[in-house]
Chain A
Amino acid sequence: MSKSNTILYLDGVSVSFDGFRAINNLSLVLDKGEMRAIIGPNGAGKTTMMDIVTGKTRPDAGEVYFDGEVDLTKHDEAEIAMMGIGRKFQKPTVFESHTIEENLMLALKGPRSIFPALFHRRSAAEVRQIDDILGITRLGDKRSEIAANLSHGQKQWLEIGMLLAQDPKLLLVDEPVAGMTDAETKETARLLKDIARDHSVIVVEHDMHFVRELGVKVTCLHEGSVLSEGSLDFVSADERVVEVYLGR
């Protein structure tokens, strides 16, 4: 497999915690501009995979390359984030004591050192960017609310908005529709498809309706490695996938 033209390239990645193999010889390739859905039962290693990509966990073995050339195993979270990998957590994680606008301001792409932040003044361009993101995520009328007062679904959206503010090349989105109503789920699918037009995206999700809505290639993980890969219809017709989901 060639690394060129891939945004994310994992080959033979393994990691174990106290003898438990969370990721076992996992290989996964994401092309530039691609959106991929990852499914799999609990404990399949979905979140651990994201931890490895974002530098939170170091793999015991294997190669992890970003953009075809950057070895991600040699960098830490902040560096990887600055290279252009954004991550949304499973549990929505926003800065609860700040307003929506401040949340986005902290996420906006820009210098990340202390002194510029200390003497930072909001520029017109930044305000425009924030307005755009507020529009996309439909949080415009809540811009000066504190994030703690948002509903669960709105927090998910704010977090996605923060990812957009970061302007990453690759977005890792962990369970974006957990706890959302059907209408919100639909909206989120629309939003992610919008985002996928000019970003590479990996979505981890359990909700099959949502995955169908996205209409992209699906990878099913099981016990830390790829079980099946293809269209949703192909994957859900796969005997082994049915087996791991329903139990044997």
Chain B
Amino acid sequence: MITGRFFAAGADRRIAITIFILLAVAIIVPLLNLAVSPTSAFYVPSYVVALTGKYLCYALLALALDLAWGYCGILSLGHGAFFALGGYAMGMYLMRQIGSRGVYGNPLLPDFMVFLNYRELPWFWYGFDQFWFAAIMVLAVPGLLAFVFGWFAFRSRVTGVYLSIITQAMTYALLLAFFRNDMGFGGNNGLTDFKDILGYNVQADATRSALFAASAVTLALAVFVTWAIVGSKYGKLLMAVRDAESRTRFLGWRAENVKLFAFTVSAVMAGIAGALYVPQVGIINPGEFEPSNSIEVVVWAAVGGRGTVVGPIIGALVVNAGKSWFTGVLPEFWLFALGGLFVAVTLFLPKGIVGMWDSWRGNAKALRAASIAGTDPDVPAPPKIVRSAARTPGDWSASGPEPQPAE
């Protein structure tokens, strides 16, 4: 059944195309970087590989947020915290891989611990010399935090703007905590100066290409998982909770559990994004917990189109490409541009780029249908045809009523 939907036309085809593109990019870009001579016109420079790899991680983060916000109406202003926690878990592994090659040459303690007069490794650093352990922590730490946080918040029926505020408070609290040197996570400077990942030099072109490919493949997988979740009966329930929470309760569904599941899955996805991000940028510090980072993620999802699977990815790529260009040309105006973009999208593209595309295509189709059927242009086309562009099964929200940001 799933495969049937997967190769079906319409919105599901869009998912298939996205996954195909991501997988193709995962193969082609590393090839163009490694196998093509730097003088060739097709050569992709290493810095571009690293930069786009970073964008793909952001896209994964935006997709994660969209599962919670676009589909379930949980406007989290703290998703950067899950991203950063996943990043720290990966960073701890990378720190332990440095071994005695650090500045102080201590075989066990990372440099910052020697510098801060640690006598021995704190207990929570145990196990991070093993990649499998770090990988589990990448999933478990953000997942567990989201589960506990969501358990209390959703059970107490904290919704709307209040929920947004406490998610923001959560990431801010973590920001302050990780800034402290006593926390044992490198304080202000965070974790950096990485050498190896799985035995390969993180700076090497081949490793960077591999990380890029891993990010693209993971994003493709996340697109598939999100699409499968959203298309299932649970996915419909998720949107039902977004649109009319009390109705679901009176039908016997536990709205708090519905939200908790989506929020936890979303946090785990954000954690994976963070873990892929850190080796590509080479540093993780408490700045990643900044509330403004989390808000930026919301902007990406809104620009691309919340409540769609492809939208947040497009949004993250477009806004970040814009950011890279803009901060090069007019660095001091970037924040104004970002703010202006958000205002403009909210005013003129309430459903984002993808939503606009859908309604534009829907209108075009309706017009065509009207002109084929129509002798009388005043007679509206049959509603089924108008809707067919966007209302194919699986594309639940493309042209549905706008998701409510906060109940």
Q: Binary interface profile of B, 222-249, with partner A (CB < 8 Å = 1, else 0)?
A: 0000000100111011011001101111
Complex interface: chain A residues within 8 A of B243 (CB): 95-97
B120 to chain A minimum Cβ distance, whole angstroms, is 43
Which residues of chain B come closer than 8 Å to A54, judged between CB atoms?
250
Expressed in whole angstroms, the Cα–Cα distance for A120 and B236 within the complex equals 11
Q: How far is the CA of A201 from the CA of B245 in the complex (A)?
A: 24
Q: Is the CB of B248 within 8 A of A106?
A: yes
Q: Looking at the complex, which one of B239, B251, B258, B401 makes contact with A148 (CB distance below 8 Å)?
A: B401
B351 within 8 A of A: no
Interface centre among B237, B249, B251, B384, by most chain A C-beta atoms within 10 angstroms, is B251
* CB closest chain-A residue, reference B261: A114
Checking A95, A120, A144 against B247 with a beta-carbon cut-off of 8 angstroms, the contacting residue is A95
Q: Which residues of A lie under 8 Å from residue B192 when comparing CB positions?
A: none
- Decide: B233 and A117 in contact? CB cutoff 8 A: yes
Residues of chain B within 8 A of A105, CB atoms compared: 233, 236
Q: What residues on B are CB-neighbors of A166 within 8 Å?
A: 251-252
Determine chain B's interface SS by DSSP, over half rule. Answer: helix
* Cross-chain contact B387 with A98 (CB below 8 angstroms): no
Given A98-B239, A105-B233, A166-B252, is A149 in contact with B383 using a C-beta cutoff of 8 Å?
yes
Q: Say whether A81 faces chain B, with CB atoms less than 8 Å apart.
A: yes
From 247 to 301 in chain B, residues with beta carbon under 8 angstroms from any chain A beta carbon are 247-255, 257-258, 261
CA distance A119 to B1 in the complex (A): 11
Judge if B195 is at the interface, Cβ distance under 8 Å.
no
CA–CA, A193 and B250, complex, Å: 23
A216 within 8 A of B: no
Task: Assess A89 versus B247: contact at CB under 8 Å? Given A117-B232, A117-B234.
Answer: yes
Tell me, yes or no, whether A162 is within 8 Å of chain B by CB: yes
Q: Which of B1, B251, B403 contacts A81 (CB 8 A)?
A: B251
Given contacts A118-B232, A120-B234, A166-B251, contact A146 B387 (CB under 8 A): yes
Q: Are A106 and B257 in contact (CB under 8 A)?
A: no
Residues of B within 8 A of A112 (CB): 252-254
Asked if A106 and B1 sit within 8 Å, CB to CB, the answer is no
CA distance A89 to B249 in the complex (A): 12
Judged by a CB distance under 8 angstroms, whether B391 is at the interface is: yes
Give the chain B neighbours of A117 by CB distance below 8 A.
232-234, 237
Q: Which residue of A lies closest to B242 (CB)?
A: A97
Beyond A77-B249, A120-B234, A146-B391, whether A114 also contacts B401 by CB under 8 A is no
With A78-B249, A121-B1 given, is the CB distance from A97 to B401 under 8 Å? yes
Is A82 in contact with chain B by the CB < 8 A criterion?
A: yes
**Distance to closest chain B CB from A130 (angstroms):** 13
Set of chain B residues within 8 Å of A149, measured between Cβ atoms? 383
Contact B234 A97 (CB under 8 A): no
B287 CB to nearest A CB, Å: 35
Asked if A244 is an interface residue, CB under 8 A from chain B, the answer is no
Q: Assuming A54-B250, A121-B1, A148-B401, is B396 touching A98 (CB within 8 A)?
A: yes
A34 at interface (Cβ–Cβ under 8 A)? no
Number of interface residues of B (CB under 8 A): 33
B215 CB–A CB distance under 8 Å: no
- The tally of residues in A whose CB lies under 8 Å from a CB in B reads 35
CA distance A106 to B241 in the complex (A): 11
Q: Which residues of B63-77 are within 8 A (CB) of A?
A: none
A181 at the interface (CB under 8 A from B): no
Report the bound CA distance from A219 to B233 in whole Å: 40
Within residues 67 to 106 of chain A, which ones have a CB less than 8 A from any CB in chain B?
A: 77-78, 81-82, 86-87, 89, 93-99, 102, 105-106
B397 is an interface residue with CB less than 8 A from chain A:
yes
Residues of A contacting B380 in the complex (Cβ-Cβ under 8 angstroms): none
Contact B236 A106 (CB under 8 A): yes
Q: Of B246, B254, B255, B400, which contacts A146 at CB under 8 A?
A: B400
Say whether A113 faces chain B, with CB atoms less than 8 Å apart: yes
Once bound together, how far apart are the Cα atoms of A96 and B258, in whole Å?
A: 18
Determine if A148 and B400 form an interchain contact, defined as CB atoms under 8 angstroms apart.
Answer: yes
Cα-based distance from A149 to B233 in the complex (angstroms): 21
Question: Are B249 and A97 neighbours in the complex by a CB distance under 8 Å?
Answer: no
Known: A105-B236, A121-B1. A93 touches B246 (CB 8 A): yes
Q: Is A196 an interface residue (CB 8 A)?
A: no
CB-nearest residue of chain B to A85: B250
Q: With the chains together, A96 CA to B234 CA distance in Å?
A: 16
Q: Are A120 and B232 in contact (CB under 8 A)?
A: yes
Q: What's the nearest-Cβ distance from chain B to residue A175, in Å?
A: 16
* Cβ of A142 to closest chain B Cβ, rounded Å: 10
CB distance from B260 to the nearest CB of A (A): 9
A 50-62 binary contact with B (CB < 8 Å = 1; else 0): 0000101000000
Residues of A within 8 A of B239 (CB): 95, 97-98
Provide the residues of chain B in CB contact with A227, threshold 8 Å: none
The answer to whether the Cβ of A107 comes within 8 Å of any Cβ in the partner chain is yes
Complexed CA–CA distance, A145 and B250 (Å): 23
Q: Would you call A118 and B234 a contact (CB within 8 A)?
A: yes
CA distance A98 to B240 in the complex (A): 8
Give the distance in Å from the alpha carbon of A139 to the alpha carbon of B391 in the complex.
Answer: 19
Residues of B within 8 A of A98 (CB): 236, 239-240, 396, 400
Cβ-closest chain A residue relative to B254: A78
Bound state CA distance, A115 and B235, in angstroms? Answer: 11
Ranked nearest first, the 8 interchain pairs of A and B with the lowest CB-CB distance are A97-B400, A81-B252, A120-B233, A117-B234, A77-B249, A118-B234, A95-B240, A82-B252
14 pairs of residues in contact across A and B, judged by CB atoms under 8 Å: A56-B246, A77-B250, A78-B254, A95-B236, A95-B240, A95-B243, A106-B233, A106-B236, A106-B253, A107-B251, A112-B253, A117-B237, A118-B233, A120-B234
Interface residues of A (CB under 8 A from B): 54, 56, 77-78, 81-82, 86-87, 89, 93-99, 102, 105-107, 112-114, 117-121, 144-146, 148-149, 162, 166
Q: A114-B261, A118-B233 are in contact. List 16 more A-B contacts (CB 8 A).
A: A56-B246, A77-B250, A81-B249, A81-B251, A82-B252, A93-B244, A93-B247, A97-B397, A98-B239, A98-B240, A105-B236, A106-B236, A106-B237, A112-B253, A117-B232, A118-B229
